[in-house]
Amino acid sequence: MPQKKTNKEFLELNINSLPYFRGLLRAVEAQVYQEYDLPHPIYDLGCGDGHFESITFDEIIDVGLDPWAAPLKEAVITNGYDLVIQGNGDRVPFSNGVFKSAFSNSVLEHIPDVDAVLKETNRILEMDAPFLFCVPNHQFLRNLSISNFLDRIGLKKMADVYRELFNKISRHHHCDSPETWKKRLDESGFEIVDYWHYFSPRAFHLLEWGHYFGLPALISKKLFGKWILVPTKWNLSLTKAILSSAYHENRRQENGAYTFYITRKKTTC
């Protein structure tokens, strides 16, 4: 499913409007979608505020769904969707086989009953339709630098508490291995075409520490409605320079904390 690559500078576009750690991760993920063709109509499962879509895709996405009303209001403003719907992914108001492709970017890990959502996504896709998604994996918690340091100095209980807290802050219900996802996808009517781990431990440490260094951005968002008050090149040049090597690192990282899956709906379930 190859398609022509874009010349967009995804790192700059994302850190102009997001906390640097989130912007780095989204920029890395945005590159992947440039290499795959998603035929219309396209379904975006967990579209949120539409920010990722507005930067990643030049085309209009047919339908975006999300359970939260406030982000969806922002998604409408981006004009990136023909239709946005508030609802849960396990009950989608469309007939069988309506969509020719789907994607879900860093969403499925937040859904407790992810199996029901996968089965419903499968239902509304036509046979052989591609479904692309990315999630944190079984290496997410083991790559945390602070808990690893605590392990090294013998504070293993404190390290486990930190891992549990970080996972809770991240609102993760699933940080699973490819073996777990393969079983889950197979039972939901999907087969894996390709997958790879991405976001090396070094890149992941930038994300981890960004949760703490990004506090000013959170304050800015609360007070002024913007993550970045001064999104200019001179203000963000140092940030971009620090993140550049992580952004340009090899896509496939054996010890990466996240996994990208290219799947398709099986012709026989």
The pLDDT tens digits of the residues spanning 153-174 come to: 999 999 999 999 999 999 999 9
What's the pLDDT score for residue 234? 82
Q: Is residue 3 part of a domain?
A: no
Residue 226: the pLDDT is: 80
Query: For 103, phi and psi rounded to 5 degrees?
Result: -145, 160
- Domain assignment present for residue 96? The answer is yes
Number of other residues whose CB lies within 10 A of the CB of residue 233: 9
Q: How confident is the model at residue 230 (pLDDT cuts 50, 70, 90)?
A: confident
In this structure, is residue 69 part of a structural domain?
yes
Range of the domain at 164: 141-173
| 65, 117 Cβ separation under 8 angstroms | no
Mean predicted confidence (pLDDT) in 57-63: 97
Residues 118 and 250 in one domain: yes
Same-domain check for residues 56 and 77: yes
167 with 179, same domain? no
Give every strand in the sheet of 258-265, ordered side by side.
81-86, 61-66, 42-45, 101-105, 130-136, 258-265, 190-198
Residues 27, 64, single domain; the answer is yes
Question: Do 91 and 118 meet the contact criterion of CB atoms below 8 Å apart?
Answer: no
- pLDDT greater than 70 at residue 64: yes
* DSSP three-state, residue 8: coil
From 173, 193, 222, the end of a domain falls on 173
Residue 4 has pLDDT above 60, yes or no: no
Is pLDDT of 99 > 90? yes
The answer to whether 140 touches 197, Cβ cutoff 8 Å, is no
Residue 41 has pLDDT above 70, yes or no: yes
pTM: 0.93
Q: Are 151 and 66 in a shared domain?
A: no
214 assigned to some structural domain: yes
CB 124 within 8 A of CB 161: no
**83 & 166 share domain:** no
No. of H helices and E strands in the chain? 11, 7
What is the number of domains present in the chain? 2
For residues 164 and 71, membership in a common domain is answered with: no
pLDDT at 184 over 60: yes
Give yes or no for a contact between 134 and 56, defined as CB atoms under 8 angstroms apart. Answer: no
Q: What is the pLDDT of residue 7?
A: 64
Which CATH number does the domain housing residue 254 bear? 3.40.50.150
Residue 267: the pLDDT is 84
Reply yes or no on whether the pLDDT at 1 is more than 50: no
Task: Tell me: do 17 and 124 sit in the same domain.
Answer: yes
1 occurs within a structural domain: no
Task: Report the relative pairing of strands 42-45 and 101-105 from DSSP bridges.
Answer: parallel
Judged by DSSP in three states, 109 sits in helix
For the chain, give the mean pLDDT.
Answer: 94
Helix axes 201-213, 156-169, angle to 10 degrees: 70
Residues whose CB falls within 8 Å of the CB of residue 146, separated by 6 or more in sequence, listed in order? 159, 162, 208
Is residue 179 a part of any domain in this protein?
A: yes
How far is residue 38's CA from residue 74's CA, in Å, rounded to a whole number? 23
Confidence at 215, pLDDT banded by 50, 70, 90: confident
Res. 5: pLDDT tops 70: no
